[in-house]
Structure 1
Amino acid sequence: MSLDRYRTAIVTGASRGIGAAIVRQLRIGGLDVWAVARSADDLSELARETGCRPLALDISHRDAVLSAMSGLDADILVNNASALVRGGLSWETAPDAIDQLMAVNIKGTLNCLAATVPGMKARGRGHIVNLGSIAAVSPIPGMPVYAMTKAAIRSLGQTLRIDLHGTGVRVSEISPGRVETGAHLALVEDREEGRRRFYDAFDCLQPDDIAEAVMFVLGAPQRMDVSYMEIVPTDQSYGGSQFHPRAR
């Protein structure tokens, strides 16, 4: 496994959780990494820790994304940025929540592709890694619109492989189950209750687990494209509908 063919990476949603873990692993691997998120303060701290290049940016704004990313000559794009808002029944999802999910999870991903894929094609080298979710393929109550956006990412990855056929640019989707990032706490009003409900009683995946999976697909031989990888906690059933609590 080697990343020698790659020089520069862009990671979105990089200020914390999975994104920050991916930045750390890529920097250990010797790559020049642009860490993208809206929080300049969090990015500055990550830059001091890892030596990454911070880029404070709202990826839902295409002109800003094209201006900031088009000249970076990125060999790797990790589309990790994702909104996760309070859910409920599909027909009761608040319009502003719908807008946020669509803006980040779908528009943001497409904007980043628009800024980076033309350069990858021209150089005949590149790898796009999309962070999906098991919610894309299995119903998980309370997250209908989020799941819809992740299903769109699933479809997008399959279409990208057709669009990029013969270019040498690889496309991978990593689809995790429950990862202990803190994002789930947005699903409930009481954060402590959220931690008890989603994390405390369960042996969840950790951000580093997903970062290591990203490094695996990037380091695979060029002849090999890990097109789809589903990763779930050992105690989470297929589809994610059931989670066995750990012994206290």
Structure 2
Amino acid sequence: MESLTDTTAIITGGASGIGRATAHSLARRGARVVVADIDADAAEVVAMEINQEGGHAVGVRCDVADETAFDNLKAVALDRFGSIDVVMNNVGVLTRGLPDHLPVTEWQRIININLLSVVRSNAVFLPLLVSQGHGHIVNTASFAGLFTYSYDRLPYAATKAAIVQLSEGLHLYLRPQGIGVTVLCPGPVATNIAASLPGTFGPEIATRGPGEQFPVLMPDVVGEQVAEAILHNTFMLYTHDQVRDVLVERASDWNDFITRRTDQFLTRLSLVTRTD
């Protein structure tokens, strides 16, 4: 998109973290924003912040697991602002537990919220964007969908990997029709996503991150990255450029990569055991 001025953006999970930061970044560039979140009060607070800064926003309660949620968002956006130009599917929840302890119901919950919410969003918004011949979609994935660094949150990682693939397919289909697609793959970012954890299934385990070379970013930094990616029609948006080195390393010899990762984990586990 050449400009965000006088466009309308819908952001799910917009009341906190990356969603909130992106809402402010888009508003500063002239977009009207529908801040959608399961926390209605928090969504309204973000909308109020934008309005007080001279922008235009509305807060809407949205449970992306609800079959009617996106129809409601579409109606609100068109009624309030008259158009829909940017849709950011940004909701993501976590679960935690060893693979042999995670119940099937947890897999179902994570898939329904993280992945099928994007499918439901597409079902509502793609026909509109295709018919008007312009717009932009942002799907939030994760480093966890690009390479494996833990096994205690496999449903989350699996859904984020699926979102990467879904986004690539959408790009192939939609870009020739004038619609941009960005897949946002954040590394460590200071958000409240851990609040979605229901507790640990099975024994307590140490949480592992993608690597010490990836510092924790503030959401405002990522919000600006998203706004610029929309304006430049960027498909793959890494929050940390260093991840390319990891992906090149894996692609060069995937078998060796996963073997070395496993050996590194066993070494750390041995050290922890001896320390205990």
State TM-score, norm by structure 2. 0.74
- Which one of 163, 167, 189 corresponds to residue 179 of structure 1? 189
TM-aligned CA deviation for residue 188 of structure 1: 8.8
TM-aligned CA deviation for residue 61 of structure 1: 1.7
* Secondary structure of 1:55 counterpart: strand
Equivalent position amino acid for 1:226 in 2 = T
- String of CA shifts for 1:148-195, please: whole Å, max 9, x gaps: 0001101100111232242100111111111111323655969xxxxx
TM-aligned CA deviation for residue 124 of structure 1: 0.8
TM-aligned CA deviation for residue 112 of structure 1: 1.3
Equivalent position amino acid for 1:96 in 2 = T
The question of whether the paired residues in 2 share the 8 Å contact of 1:83 and 1:100 is answered with no
Relative to its length, the structure with more helix (as a share) is: 2
Query: Mapping of 1:107-126 within 5 angstroms?
Result: 107-126=116-135
Structure 1 CA distance for aligned equivalents of residues 7 and 117 of structure 2: 23
* Secondary structure of 1:10 counterpart: strand
The residue number in structure 2 matching 1:54 is: 59
- Which one of 95, 98, 107 corresponds to residue 89 of structure 1? 98
Q: Aligned pair in 2 of structure 1 residues 203, 134: CA closer, same or farther (>3 Å)? A: closer
- String of CA shifts for 1:70-108, please: whole Å, max 9, x gaps: 5633110111111112x2222321333222211111111
TM-aligned CA deviation for residue 2 of structure 1: 4.6
Query: Mapping of 1:142-153 within 5 angstroms?
Result: 142-153=152-163
TM-aligned CA deviation for residue 26 of structure 1: 1.1
Structure 2 CA distance for aligned equivalents of residues 101 and 125 of structure 1: 31
Gaps of 5+ in 2: 52-56, 201-206, 248-260, 265-276
The residue number in structure 2 matching 1:19 is: 19
1:69 aligns to 2:74 (yes or no)? yes
TM-aligned CA deviation for residue 114 of structure 1: 1.5
Percent identity, aligned pairs only, is 27
CA RMSD of aligned residues (A): 3.0
Query: Mapping of 1:152-191 within 5 angstroms?
Result: 152-184=162-194
Gaps of 5+ in 1: 191-195, 243-248
Equivalent position amino acid for 2:99 in 1 = S
Equivalent position amino acid for 2:98 in 1 = L
Structure 2 CA distance for aligned equivalents of residues 184 and 47 of structure 1: 24
Structure 2 CA distance for aligned equivalents of residues 111 and 197 of structure 1: 31
The question of whether the paired residues in 1 share the 8 Å contact of 2:88 and 2:139 is answered with yes
1:78 aligns to 2:109 (yes or no)? no
Aligned residue pair count: 230
State TM-score, norm by structure 1. 0.82
The residue number in structure 2 matching 1:217 is: 229
TM-aligned CA deviation for residue 6 of structure 1: 5.9
TM-aligned CA deviation for residue 62 of structure 1: 2.3
Query: Mapping of 1:117-136 within 5 angstroms?
Result: 117-136=126-145
- String of CA shifts for 1:200-229, please: whole Å, max 9, x gaps: x99411111211111111111xxxx31112
The residue number in structure 1 matching 2:236 is: 228
Q: Aligned pair in 2 of structure 1 residues 152, 203: CA closer, same or farther (>3 Å)? A: closer
Equivalent position amino acid for 2:216 in 1 = C
- String of CA shifts for 1:111-143, please: whole Å, max 9, x gaps: 112221111111111101111101112112122
Equivalent position amino acid for 2:227 in 1 = M
